[in-house]
């Protein structure tokens, strides 16, 4: 099978490519990204020095480049995005060009090139969107789910996965805490803050599961534990003082993965929630299951929580 990952040099892209190479015996894994330095650095890592790996410089804003890259591709995982909340808030038009126009280009190129399945990596920020990043991701979700209307019943299937911040990913607060630990003081925006918890390995496995289940039009949401930001700080840098600095521009106090309105069209599959599309004609086969018991899937009202010790074990901390 031939795979392509947009944003292939990011935290998720690298982990996903490594998983495919180690577990799926792919014919081809294409790393599509716009940063030649990151591609060069990735190519020098032993785990990616395999015949199946391919390297394709390009930007999702460039549809012609996508059309060339998507030839003979079976599965596209669209992870490319501008995702730093403050940067997107200040550079809104750039966020629109990458996250919205880029997603449209990926959908159209997937359909035009006969890609079998295309999956968008979305974000909790798309849910009840507060900031520019979340708003552009919400539109990207609609582009993917609604894109099935342009694909024939036996054509390209388009779906999304939606989860929270990936622990330890580039820009993660974990890196900030580790850097600040030497000073003995950590900056925390709000001590009440909570977040869902997912590691890169867990995110990869969830995406693989979604690709296996998707019929087109769904948004897949994993069942995740929550963490308190103060517990995360204690796990990463114990015995440090906490300085409260206030929420950043566009930052949420808690993460939401399924809104009350979305719950009405969500089915519970145990460790996975599936949000059905608005228009049932987009579904190629019926999705059935029980409705979740919660009214909203939010990190502050979650039934599962990680303790400080749990977080340390997840991070491999002593």
Alpha helices in the chain (DSSP H): 11-23, 36-43, 63-69, 85-90, 92-95, 102-113, 132-146, 173-180, 200-213, 229-236, 260-263, 308-315
Residue 29 within any structural domain of the chain: yes
Residue 250 within any structural domain of the chain: no
What confidence score (pLDDT) does residue 251 get? 84
Q: According to the 3-state scheme, what is the secondary structure of 138-191? A: HHHHHHHHHHHHHCCCCCCEEEEECCCCECCCCCCHHHHHHHHHHHCEEEECCC
Burial of 108 (0-12, 13-18, 19+ CB in 10 A): middle
Is 125 labeled as catalytic in the residue annotation? yes
Residue 282 within any structural domain of the chain: yes
Provide the domain limits for residue 62. Answer: 2-164+199-223+256-298
Residue 277: give its domain's CATH number.
3.40.50.720
Residue 40 within any structural domain of the chain: yes
Give the Å distances, CA to CA, from 43 to 50, 59, 150, 170, 261: 9, 19, 36, 19, 44
Residue 183 within any structural domain of the chain: no
Domain count, the chain: 1
What confidence score (pLDDT) does residue 282 get? 57
- Here the tokens at position 288 are 């059935």
Q: Do residues 115 and 154 touch, judged by C-beta distance below 8 A?
A: no
Residue 51 within any structural domain of the chain: yes
What confidence score (pLDDT) does residue 318 get? 38
Q: Do residues 97 and 131 touch, judged by C-beta distance below 8 A?
A: no
Q: Chunked in runs of 10, what are the mean pLDDT values of the chain (318 residues)? A: 97 96 97 97 96 98 98 98 91 98 98 98 95 96 95 91 86 87 94 94 97 95 96 93 89 94 94 89 66 94 95 77
| Active-site choice (125, 137, 228, 252) | 125
Spacing of C-alpha 232 from chain mean position: 21
Beta-carbon contacts of 24 under 8 Å, excluding residues fewer than 6 positions away, are 1
What confidence score (pLDDT) does residue 171 get? 67
What would you measure as the largest C-alpha separation in the chain, in angstroms? 59
Residue 174 within any structural domain of the chain: no
Q: What is the dihedral of CA 81, 206, 73, 46, to 10 degrees?
A: 80
Residue 316 within any structural domain of the chain: no
d(CA 254, CA 192): 9
pLDDT in tens, 94-124: 999 999 999 999 999 999 999 999 999 999 9
């Amino acid at each position: 099978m031939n795979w392509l990952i947009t944003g292939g040099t990011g935290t998720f892209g690298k982990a996903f490519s490594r998983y495919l190479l180690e577990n799926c015996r792919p014919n081809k894994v294409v790393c599509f990204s716009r940063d030649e330095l990151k591609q060069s650095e990735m190519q020098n890592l032993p785990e990616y020095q395999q015949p199946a790996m391919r390297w394709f410089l390009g930007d999702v804003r460039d549809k012609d480049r996508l059309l060339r890259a998507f030839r003979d591709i079976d599965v596209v995982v669209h992870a490319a995005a501008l995702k730093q909340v403050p940067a997107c808030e200040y550079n809104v038009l750039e966020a629109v060009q990458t996250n919205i126009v880029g997603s449209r280009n990926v959908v159209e190129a997937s359909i035009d090139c006969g890609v079998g399945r295309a999956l968008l990596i979305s974000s909790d920020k798309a849910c009840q969107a507060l900031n520019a990043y979340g708003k552009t991701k919400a539109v990207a979700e609609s582009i993917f789910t609604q894109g099935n209307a342009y694909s024939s019943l036996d054509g390209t299937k388009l779906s999304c996965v939606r989860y929270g911040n990936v622990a330890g990913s580039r820009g993660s607060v974990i890196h900030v805490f580790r850097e600040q630990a030497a000073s003995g003081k950590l900056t925390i925006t709000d001590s009440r803050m909570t977040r869902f918890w997912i590691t890169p390995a867990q995110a990869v496995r969830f995406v693989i599961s979604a690709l296996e289940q998707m019929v087109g039009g769904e948004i897949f949401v994993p069942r995740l534990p929550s963490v308190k930001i103060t517990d995360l700080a204690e796990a990463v840098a114990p015995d440090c003082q906490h300085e409260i600095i206030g929420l950043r521009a566009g930052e949420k106090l808690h993460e939401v993965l399924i809104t009350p309105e979305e719950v009405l069209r969500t089915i519970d599959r145990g460790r996975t929630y599936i949000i059905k599309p608005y228009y049932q004609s987009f579904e190629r086969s019926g999705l059935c299951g029980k409705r979740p018991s919660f009214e909203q899937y939010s990190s502050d009202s979650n039934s599962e929580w990680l303790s400080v010790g749990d977080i340390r074990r997840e991070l491999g901390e002593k």
